[in-house]
Amino acid sequence: MDPIRYAVFGCGGMANGHASRMKSEENVRLAACCDILPAAARAFAERHQIPAWYTDPQELLDKESLDACSIVTSDAAHAPISLAAFKKGLHVLCEKPLGVSSAETKTMLKAARASGRMHMVNFSYRSYPALERGRELIRDGVIGRIMHVEASYLQSWLATDHWGDWREKPAFLWRMSRKHRGGTLVDIGCHILVFTTLLAGNVRTLTAQTRSFDKGVPRNTWKGYKLDADDSFAMTAQFDTGALGVIHASRWASGHSNALRLRVFGDKGALVIDSEGGKDKLQVCTGDFQRRHLLWNTLHVTTPEVPIYSRFIRSIRSGKAESPTFEDGHRIQVYLDACKESSESGRIVSIKE
């Protein structure tokens, strides 16, 4: 088995997960890393024993002989680096959200398809065993026709210092700034939309409202970052099936660290997936007796999770694409754009693609 020569672009918090995972994959060799901050790139290379580090993505691509890469930069750099990597014939695992607009992700998808290489987006929660089992149950008609959906993604890092003081970390600050394409909607909204649409199907129309609340800092600006991106969003959706849904997320949800919950109600029953209860557990209420007496069963899914990192490497070796691909990344971006449009116009927005 030939080694896969691998590069990591972006050497911040999340990149450590990519490097560690790839190091543990059989015959994957971390060849180079890149960050626009030299100190970050150098420290990352030392930490993960990567032989070469760069501050210019194009220079890395020109000088190194590579097969695949992870793009783990802040969101605005996903598109230019993906396009350059496909041009060099690399397989690309890109962080979420895929890009900063659906016009941009459309271009990325086109380049991915034209390259003939593997392309995946790190919607990490897509690999939850409970989610796949829920999908099977719905496909098998266990809860019947879906009527109603409720989904939330709750964090509390603005309300408490549970994850450290947000004032101290650039990784929090760029997420709060519109200029840096931050905001709850794009940051974690994309994850809960993947979760929801996998089980409830595609969205046909939606409405959304977003809010940015006062953070108690002068002129709403901190360390050069204007803190004007949304902290909370709430949306309503009508799915292709006709079902209705409410989807929301916030960084102000005290009592929750990183909680994804999805409840799906059909005409024959209901199911609930709640990350706080475990990624391999599913609550199900089906059958006349159970429904009449409001009884829920807990299903323990025994199929182990295969993380996206392993599936990406598997897809390169097998030549068989695995989801979520750039197609999924683009579809989610269309929803995010529609939410922004609705939030600005106050109107219901139809999904055209």
Ligand X SMILES: NC(=O)c1ccc[n+]([C@@H]2O[C@H](COP(=O)([O-])OP(=O)(O)OC[C@H]3O[C@@H](n4cnc5c(N)ncnc54)[C@H](O)[C@@H]3O)[C@@H](O)[C@H]2O)c1
Binding site for ligand X (CB under 6 A): 9-15, 34-37, 40, 57, 72-75, 77, 95-96, 122, 124, 170-171, 174, 187
Is 182 or 266 the residue whose CB approaches ligand X more closely?
182
Tell me how far, at minimum, the Cβ of 9 lies from ligand X, in Å.
5
Q: Which residue is nearest to ligand X (CB)?
A: 12
Tell me how far, at minimum, the Cβ of 143 lies from ligand X, in Å.
28
Q: Phi-psi region for residue 86, left (φ > 0), alpha (ψ -120 to 50) or beta?
A: alpha
Is 84 or 118 the residue whose CB approaches ligand X more closely?
84
What's phi and psi for 80, nearest 5 deg? Answer: -60, -40
**Residue showing tokens 């309503």:** 236
Tell me how far, at minimum, the Cβ of 110 lies from ligand X, in Å.
21
Q: Which structure tokens are listed for 48?
A: 């993960």
Angle between helices 13-24 and 308-318 (to 10 degrees): 50
Is 99 or 266 the residue whose CB approaches ligand X more closely?
99
Nearest alpha-carbon partner for 61 in 41, 81, 38: 81
Is 154 or 271 the residue whose CB approaches ligand X more closely?
154
Measured in whole angstroms, the distance separating CA 97 from the mean position of its chain's CA atoms is 6
Q: Which structure tokens are listed for 125?
A: 């929660």
Q: Which segments within 83-190 are labelled E, that is strand?
A: 91-94, 119-121, 146-155
Is 136 or 161 the residue whose CB approaches ligand X more closely?
161
**Cα 51 from Cα 241, distance rounded (Å):** 51
**Cα 189 from Cα 153, distance rounded (Å):** 7
Is 169 or 291 the residue whose CB approaches ligand X more closely?
169
Tell me how far, at minimum, the Cβ of 287 lies from ligand X, in Å.
36
Tell me how far, at minimum, the Cβ of 11 lies from ligand X, in Å.
5
Tell me how far, at minimum, the Cβ of 191 lies from ligand X, in Å.
7
Tell me how far, at minimum, the Cβ of 13 lies from ligand X, in Å.
4
Is 107 or 236 the residue whose CB approaches ligand X more closely?
107
Q: Is 192 exposed, middle or buried (0-12, 13-18, 19+ CB in 10 A)?
A: buried
| Number of Cβ within a 10 Å radius of residue 201 | 16
Nearest alpha-carbon partner for 87 in 104, 62, 64: 62
Query: Which amino acid type is present at position 262?
Result: L
Neighbouring residues of 218: CB distance < 8 A, sequence distance ≥ 6: none
Characterize the bridge pairing of strands 28-34 and 4-9: parallel
Tell me how far, at minimum, the Cβ of 247 lies from ligand X, in Å.
18
What's phi and psi for 241, nearest 5 deg? Answer: -70, -15
Is 207 or 275 the residue whose CB approaches ligand X more closely?
275
